[in-house]
Amino acid sequence: MSAGAVPDEQAPQAPAAPHGIGRLRPVDVYEASLDGTPVLLRTHQGHAHPLPAETYLAEHVPGDSSLLTRCTGGTLDVGCGPGRLAAALTRRGVRSLGIDISLRAVALARAAGADALHGSIFDPLPQVGPWSTALLADGNLGIGGEPVTLLARLRTLLTSHGQVLVELDPPGSGAHQLTVRLEHADGAASVWFPWARVGVEAIDEVAVQAGLSVVERWSEAGRWFAALGARPLTAAQPRSRSCSSPLGVAPATTT
């Protein structure tokens, strides 16, 4: 789930969970990782990556400051997890709200000092926006498996001059739709769910399809980011354009 995770091709292999036990909710396995249980993120192709819960639970991760300084005005931290970034914004005096489908993550975020809401970013939200900034850190552009849909949803929550700050995969990563699940070390696994990963050079096409454009790109502490701003709609600049995938990303090609 992290943009900083090992690319599929280099990921260590792990034994597949026994057949028929992939029935847990992803959020339950994710919450176990927050409580200290080692969890793997496995792609449908069989590659496994340790879920970096220690990053989610950290107070500060190198590279965070470059995101935080760009959060101008009220900021919505989408998939805030235990609230590392939302709490840091609060400490900086920036109005922020984290949102997450995990009750455990929301409780941790509140305990860390963040304002946090339990719910899905795709559900109707309380009238607390519009937001100047939406944050998609730690690979959260993958939420829902359709980056264009997620960005288009965020665009509706932003002011007309609002921005989305996204963390991306390194150059050369491309853009991929994935089917993944979360696994405990003992083999118990969640159901499969859609995810996506987008590389820093692939974000332009995805952004354009969501009615956004890349206004800045940067790298800090080995992490890659972009700021996306709303594009004015004109007859010569339709909101979306066709491409080989309706989601704007190519299906994963790793095996």
Write out the residues near ligand SAM by the rule CB under 6 A: 1-2, 27, 30, 56, 79-82, 84, 99-102, 105, 120-122, 137-140, 143-144
Minimum CB distance to ligand SAM smaller for 107 or for 243: 107
Minimum CB distance to ligand SAM smaller for 145 or for 174: 145
**Residue nearest ligand SAM by beta-carbon distance:** 81
Q: Sort 244 into a burial class: Cβ within 10 Å, 0-12 / 13-18 / 19+.
A: exposed
Minimum CB distance to ligand SAM smaller for 121 or for 165: 121
Beta-carbon neighbour count of residue 143 at 10 Å?
23
Long-range contacts of residues 31-37, Cβ cutoff 8 Å, at least 24 apart = 31/102, 31/103, 31/104, 31/105, 32/184, 33/182, 34/81, 34/82, 34/102, 34/104, 34/105, 34/108, 35/104, 37/184, 37/185
Phi first, then psi: what are they for 148, rounded to 5°?
Answer: -65, -45
Minimum CB distance to ligand SAM smaller for 139 or for 211: 139
CA angle 231, 155, 238 (to 5 degrees): 40
Q: From the CB of 244, what's the least distance to ligand SAM, in Å? A: 26
Q: From the CB of 108, what's the least distance to ligand SAM, in Å? A: 9
Q: From the CB of 142, what's the least distance to ligand SAM, in Å? A: 7
Q: From the CB of 118, what's the least distance to ligand SAM, in Å? A: 9
Q: From the CB of 49, what's the least distance to ligand SAM, in Å? A: 11
Label the pairing between strands 189-190 and 22-24: parallel
Strand partners, 17: none
Minimum CB distance to ligand SAM smaller for 99 or for 165: 99
Q: From the CB of 242, what's the least distance to ligand SAM, in Å? A: 26
Entry field: residues in the chain:
255
Minimum CB distance to ligand SAM smaller for 3 or for 208: 3
State the Cα–Cα distance between residues 86 and 96, nearest whole angstrom: 6
Beta-carbon neighbour count of residue 200 at 10 Å?
23
